[in-house]
Amino acid sequence: MEIDPRRLRYLLAVLRRGGILAAAEALGVSPSAVSQQVARLERETGRQLIRRTTRGTQLTPAGLMLAEAAEEVERALNVVVSRLESPDAELSGTVRIGGFESFLRSVVIPALPYWKVRHPGLDVVVIEADRDDLVRQLRAGRLDVAIIESDVDEGTGSLPAGMGEEHLLDDPWVIVAPVGALMTTDAAGLQSLEVPWLGVSDSPASERAIARVRRGLGVTGETKHAYYGLQTALALVAAGEGVALAPALALRGMLPSGVVTVDADGLGTRRVVARHYERGTRRRQAAASIVTLLRDAVTAQSHQLHGVHDEVGEQSHGWAGTV
């Protein structure tokens, strides 16, 4: 089997944008060009990579495997490009990274000891905040880089003048449910849950994802409770109060007893990017340096960032349905 790696970016764009048309717009090519490249990939692999449903274009399990490989290639190339543009000289001074809890806890903070050894003159300041506050602090110059999350269903939109954005990773969403709440792990089982869906407050990415998944399943009615921190959501799930939608990265090391996860390709992903301002030599250099370090950290953690199967073992269930 020989795969032309140049075609992988087309499949990855379909995953990230949720369809052929959106992928074509993002890549600046025609929809037929995207379809042709994906079709050639299917011939090269001998596997169906995408399927078209009434809810849009979705990747098959084989397509997801190939898209994950494409992400690895993209990350490696981005790291190399960053290093070529900003040679690996001694970094010094203070850089301020703002972000949300799961990315800081799982990616940034574990990398801090390594960064100290590699760049002893570099002082990294970590600031946790919600998305709106991160954007405000970035605009005010109190942050050099802001780590932002968004649901796959959320349009990227246009950035303010002078602001740049670097893609870091796509984090799959999973459903967390009380033990025994799922009679089956297919779409019918999720539609007929006897426990309600939990609501979330002050998290635009999670709110959009929950609404999208519930809409896809045809679930109606109000959500119950409203949590801010994931630990609160997991405690509610373990108590049998409802089911929650959570990004896989956030669940690492946090799953309590009494809960199971449902990992489904149709649940989509959370997009994580690094935003920074490009104006001003000092800020531009600081941002370029920290983005390179972040990409190194993401690459180092990449084998743990695509699902929570190793953590939950027999607690984790697959679901072949679509949403």
Mean pLDDT score of the chain, rounded to an integer? 80
Helix (H, G, I), strand (E, B) or coil at 151: strand
Q: Is residue 50 within 8 Å of residue 38, measured between CB atoms?
A: yes
Tokens 């007893």 belong to which residue? 257
The predicted model gives 199-210 an average pLDDT of 87
> Radius of gyration of the chain from Cα atoms?
20
Name the pLDDT band for 186 (thresholds 50, 70, 90).
Answer: low
CA distances for 222 relative to 40, 187, 197, 219, angstroms? 45, 19, 8, 9
Percent of the chain with pLDDT over 70: 79
Q: Say whether pLDDT at 27 is over 80.
A: yes
Would 5-80 and 91-168+270-304 be classified into the same CATH topology? no
Tell me the C-alpha distance between 291 and 144, whole Å.
10
Q: Is residue 291 within 8 Å of residue 145, measured between CB atoms?
A: yes
Name the pLDDT band for 12 (thresholds 50, 70, 90).
Answer: confident
Q: Say whether pLDDT at 312 is over 50.
A: no
| Structure confidence by residue, pLDDT tens digits, 39-58 | 999 998 998 988 877 666 77
Name the pLDDT band for 307 (thresholds 50, 70, 90).
Answer: very low
What is the structure's pLDDT at 81? 64
**What is the CATH code for 5-80?**
1.10.10.10
Tell me the C-alpha distance between 21 and 74, whole Å.
21
What is the structure's pLDDT at 155? 62
Task: Give residues with Cβ within 8 angstroms of 88, minimum separation 6.
Answer: none
What is the structure's pLDDT at 51? 85
Percent of the chain with pLDDT over 90: 21
Class of domain 91-168+270-304: alpha beta
* pTM of the predicted model as reported, rounded to 2 decimal places: 0.70
DSSP H stretches of helix in 28-152: 31-45, 61-85, 101-103, 109-118, 131-139
Mean pLDDT lowest for which of 53-62, 154-163, 171-180, 198-207?
154-163
Mean pLDDT lowest for which of 60-64, 184-188, 227-231, 251-255?
184-188
Q: Say whether pLDDT at 234 is over 90.
A: yes
Q: Say whether pLDDT at 223 is over 70.
A: yes
| Structure confidence by residue, pLDDT tens digits, 111-153 | 999 999 988 888 999 999 998 899 899 988 899 899 999 987 7
Task: Give residues with Cβ within 8 angstroms of 177, minimum separation 6.
Answer: 193, 195, 237, 243, 259, 260, 261, 262
Q: Say whether pLDDT at 321 is over 50.
A: no
What are the two backbone dihedrals, phi and then psi, of residue 181, each rounded to the nearest 5 degrees? -75, -25
Q: Where are the domains of the chain?
A: 5-80, 91-168+270-304, 171-268+308-319
**What is the CATH code for 171-268+308-319?**
3.40.190.10
